[in-house]
Structure 1
Amino acid sequence: MSRHSTAHHFLQGLIDLGIDYIFANLGTDHVSLIEALAEWDREGRKHPEVILCPHEVVAVHMAAGYALATGRAQAVFVHVDAGTANACMAIQNLFRYRLPVMLFAGRAPFTLHGELTGSRDTYVHFVQDPFDIASIVRPYVKWEYSLPSGVVVKEALARAHAFAESDPPGPVYMMLPRETLAEEWDDAAMPAYPPARYGSVQAGGIEPERVERIADALMAAENPIALTAYLGRKAQAVAVLERLAQLCGIRVAEFNSIDLNISQASPCFAGFDPSALLEQADLGLLLDSDVPFVPQYARRADAIKWIQIDVDPLKADFPMWGFPTDMRIQGDCATILYQVCEAIEARADDAWRRRVAARIASWS
């Protein structure tokens, strides 16, 4: 029966998840992974491409760029507590930008006297072993775990990946003790955990009753506005927002935007400061926005009816948020706005369309 190290099965787990890249700043804790990579190279086996990075912030932000372009989480390897600390600021960026990444930190050996393969054999193994490494990044990750045994490595990877890519997406963190990576396991004890069966959960649409309520509000509004920051994370959402904005005569502002949410050539694009829009609006859509405006500078906001559609409407990781909404909906903006467009198209008459066209013409 064939046996391989946990590090070997870890790499196979990354392959099973479709991971393309490992962005790495390596240390003594990665010995087994380096050996497994070298063995795979000798055998001509394909593994995720390793990109060596001079600093952990570089590694995490390279993974962020890949996630921003593709929506897919990649692997980042860092060295124990020191690498985790260096990566922390970048992880905070990804957490707030809602970008998935799988951050893996080696962990100092837990055996001191050579009891196991990978035991402590150098000075840093003593001084880089704090009580709670995960506390460094805990406020900025969706899930954390210290791998207790190589026998669960593929299952743990599948769970990490599912958390990273589930809505709202974000970073996850796993610690890999050196002895655990060096363990050997029979290949037969390492079944795959494919994403098709153990994968992420995505937000979707809503039931017809709430679609009709949103359509009613938009068709009755005289000065509707929409505020967004990261709706454009999904490319299809940009087109559907443009369609809805022109259909209903909605002015769209991006406040602290992360993505392109609507074309700046659109007659509905209203810039990056929503302050002027708030003065006349009677209905506002909050679409995938963590901070749509600053409340103390928006005294008239309470006079506006607000409909919030967001992948995370409660902002669960914000201790305080402070934006009241009349309809608060958790879901996928692209799907829900498409549903609303279809409902409005089905009942819009010529008189209403002329009124909307006049409103849009008045902006120029």
Structure 2
Amino acid sequence: MELPAPTQAVPTQAAETVAEAFLVQLRRRGVDRLFVNSGTDFASLVEAYARRKDSGLDLPDVVVCAHENLAVSMAHGSYLGDGRVQAVMLHTSVGTANAVCAVFNAARSRVPVLLTAGRTPLFEHSMLGARDAPIHWAQEMFDQAGMLRELVKWDYELRDGAHVLDVVDRALDIATTQPRGPVYLSLPREVLAGPVFSSEPGAAPAPPTVAHPDPAAVAQLADHLATAQFPLLVTGDAGADRRAVPLLAELCRRFGIAVVETGVRHVNVPADHPLHAGYAVGTVLPDADVVCVLDLDVPWIQGSTAPREDAVVVQCGPDPSFTRYPMRTHRTDLTITADTTALLTALIAALAERIVDPTRAERLAARVSGWREARARVLEEETTTDGPITKAFLNAALTQVRPADAVVVNEYWASPEMLGSTVPGTYFGTPPAGGLGWGLPAAMGFQLARPATTVIATLGDGAYLFANPAACHQAMAMHHLPVLTIVCTNAHWGAVQSSATRMYPDGHAASAPELSPLARLDPAPRFAAYAEASGGLGLRVTQRAELVPALQRALRTVQDERRHALVDVECA
């Protein structure tokens, strides 16, 4: 995603404290929102916002969140919505601890977030901001940042207010340099309370450019693709930069290259593209003689499928080796470090200079169309109102009622294959780290960034519980976020049970008449009550005939009444 240019706001008065200078610099550098879960370390920030009426200082808008996972995941979703770097402030060590799962998701998704946290006061007495509550002893750690150092690109502690502006610039510069990711800054209370002797900013750092591919490597890849019988592109994340989607579609159409999506987290190529080979890499990988992976951490599961031995395998991306992963040994015969959009642009130009079999596109289109025909059959079959509600029926119902421009943020059941999205930026899937509780807050953050968009969060009951739903719905009411939440309630963790049966297909868990107690979530709460408790619409659906009308009513609620709504669907 291309980062927008920062705005340059000018305060009407100078900042008086380090806290004010910190906040002004965030706004000056284009950070419009500060997601907060406050604590005793926020005293100087509280004072800064209280003084704003008199000071006229331009500070980021505060987005209060009643849980740290909510705060960081909302920031994650806001970046998906508007492409701007986001800022979060957490409460010392304990707030940081609560946020680690969400930081994990942001790190593996390469989302630039400036995470800040207060630090327990350094001094026990005799300074403004020194310890004045019993928790200030117990909350101090020897290395607070150590909890998430493996996940962030940079961590630092603001030691003196004299360089607060430079520290903010350094943090944002690192967060937005590819591969992007979160950074962490801890802020001692005494330092924030200190006076500012000069708050005049220097020149803003030049935005970091993206990595462009080596021309010789592009030429080599173009040669392979031009002469292949079955060239195949594999991706799941190329659409993180929406500019890449039309380029990928053009590349495949013009030069007869098939594309398969796996581990889908974005709309990477329109689902109706004639060279779209579906969402099951194992069905086409054995046929491909050239396999080009576009910025995807797990293009295939090595224990179950792999490229054929005589195929040429190329791995591409801003970090094609995924160097922050301790182990990743997927085969590569050519590795190209490059921004995906820059690579596609260069590759189109290179292939335009080569001779490509003009019949290849038609031949491959016929070969890869089977998944689309199967999808049509499923949608047709899932029209009966008899029987229990299945995930297939739920997907068919959502496909029927979903507005074309609605955004789906999925953490479980919404199938990219069934939804058939064609518009870039209208589907977001679970981050590769899989830290549960991301989907609903991310949908809320997207709604905050794009208030005119219809945003639908599709969750399982486990993911919904992990999201701290009471905190989420309270924040929807507080910040006027009319998100539609659809929960597939089956009272178990399907991933836990299926993992056991995959490992032990002939084992006791596979043959047991009941679910493992480790996979059970019953009794399921009445989730609609969470929405109702915060002024939203809550509906419960147990019969197939009820589902489409309930979804239509919920959509009217979020679109016309601008209230959040939840549909709790009892699924088989």
Fold in common (TM above 0.5) = yes
Q: Is the 8 A contact 2:291 2:307 kept in 1?
A: no
Going from structure 1 to structure 2, the CA distance change for 1:230 and 1:194 (only over 3 Å counts) comes to: farther
Q: Distance in 1 between matches of 2:123 and 2:364?
A: 72
What residue is the counterpart of 1:9 in the other structure?
A: 21
Shift of 1:354: 2.6
SS of 2:53's equivalent? Answer: helix
For residue 172 of structure 1, the aligned residue among 183, 187, 191 is 183
Partners of 2:339 and 2:14 in 1: how far apart? 45
- Does 1:149 pair with 2:160? yes
Alpha-carbon distance change, 3 to 285 in structure 1, aligned in 2, over 3 angstroms: closer
Instruction: Quote the Cα distance in structure 2 between the aligned partners of 1:130 and 1:302.
Output: 52
Selected match of 1:225 from 195, 218, 232: 232
Q: Which runs of 5+ in 1 are unaligned?
A: none
Matched, 1:88 2:100: yes
Q: Deviations over 1:84-129 (max 9, x none)?
A: 011110000101111111110000101002x211000001111110
Retained in 2: the 8 A contact 1:17–1:194?
A: no
Give the Cα separation in 2 of the matches to 1:6 and 1:263: 48
3-state secondary structure, aligned to 1:139 = coil
Cα deviation, 1:231-287, whole Å, max 9, x if unaligned, reads 101111011111111122222122212111011111222222201111111100110
Shift of 1:336: 1.4
Q: Structure 1 residue 38 and structure 2 residue 54: aligned?
A: no
**1:163/1:200 contact within 8 Å kept:** no
Correspondence for 1:192: 201
Preserved CA contact (<8 Å) 2:288 2:307: no
Closer, same or farther: CA 223–18 of 1 in aligned 2, 3 Å: same
Which whole-Å CA distance do the structure 1 matches of 2:211 and 2:354 have between them? 24
2:423 corresponds in structure 1 to: none
1:331-353 CA-to-partner distances (Å, cap 9, x unmatched) read 1111111111122223336xx21
Task: Identify which of 112, 115, 126 aligns with 2:124.
Answer: 112
Deviations 1:152-202 (A, max 9, x none): 111011011011111111111000000000110212xx332444xx24423
In structure 2, what is the equivalent of residue 235 of structure 1? 242
Contact 2:121 2:190 in 1 (8 A): yes
Taking every aligned residue pair, what percent have the same amino acid on both sides? 35
Structure with the higher helix share, 1 or 2: 1
Q: Distance in 2 between matches of 1:335 and 1:161?
A: 23
Alignment length (residue pairs): 357
Contact kept in structure 2, 1:252 and 1:270, CA below 8 Å = yes
2:33 corresponds to 1:26: no
The structure, 1 or 2, with the larger RCO (C-alpha pairs under 8 Å, 6+ apart) is 1
Candidates 76, 83, 86, aligned match of 1:71: 83
Separation in structure 1 between the aligned mates of residue 222 and residue 252 of structure 2, nearest angstrom: 12
Give the corresponding residue for 1:292: 299
- Helix, strand or coil at the partner of 2:352: helix
Matched, 1:271 2:282: no
2:45 partner SS: helix
Q: Distance in 1 between matches of 2:157 and 2:23?
A: 17
> Which shifted more, 141-150 or 352-361?
352-361
Taking a change above 3 Å as real, the CA distance of residues 135 and 108 of structure 1, as seen in their structure-2 partners, is same
Q: How has the CA–CA distance of structure 1 residues 319 and 200 changed in structure 2, closer, same or farther, with 3 Å as cutoff? A: farther
Which runs of no fewer than 5 residues in structure 2 stay unpaired?
A: 1-12, 370-572
**2:363 alignment partner AA:** A
Q: Check the 8 A contact 1:232/1:260 in 2, yes or no.
A: yes
TM-score by length of 2: 0.60
* Helix, strand or coil at the partner of 2:168: helix
Q: What residue is the counterpart of 1:100 in the other structure? A: 112
2:360 and 2:338 map into 1 onto residues whose CA distance is 30
Q: Is the 8 A contact 1:250 1:268 kept in 2?
A: yes
Q: 1:109 to 1:81 in 2, by over 3 A?
A: same
Q: Distance in 1 between matches of 2:102 and 2:111?
A: 11
